Copies of this chain bind each other. A is one copy, B any other.
């Protein structure tokens, strides 16, 4: 199951920042790193982790390497969460209809 890897990868704030930056569109490594408080090699390492979790795909363009989000890689995590949501919410409603959901 790939959701485990996805969770582990998305848990890190910097790595998540890399991922969210790609939300704006495909970017090169240098472009991504320029907006973050870490070095470019650090970004490379994060991108490797994201790629290993199938959350991004890369493509060579000259010497540059363009990364973009690979949405299907989010599917397992989404499904896992959905299952949790449905089942747990049902059980929750069955348990206490009038609970406040806030903290």
Contact = CB atoms under 8 A, between A and B. Distances in A.
Interface in A1-21: 4, 7-8, 10-11, 13, 16
A85 B11 CA distance: 17
Interface residues of A, number: 33
Contacts of A88: 23, 69, 71, 74
B81 A69 contact: no
Contacts of A72: 89, 92, 101
B70 A92 contact: yes
Interface of A: 4, 7-8, 10-11, 13, 16, 23, 25-26, 54, 68-75, 77-78, 81-82, 84-85, 87-89, 91-92, 95, 101, 103
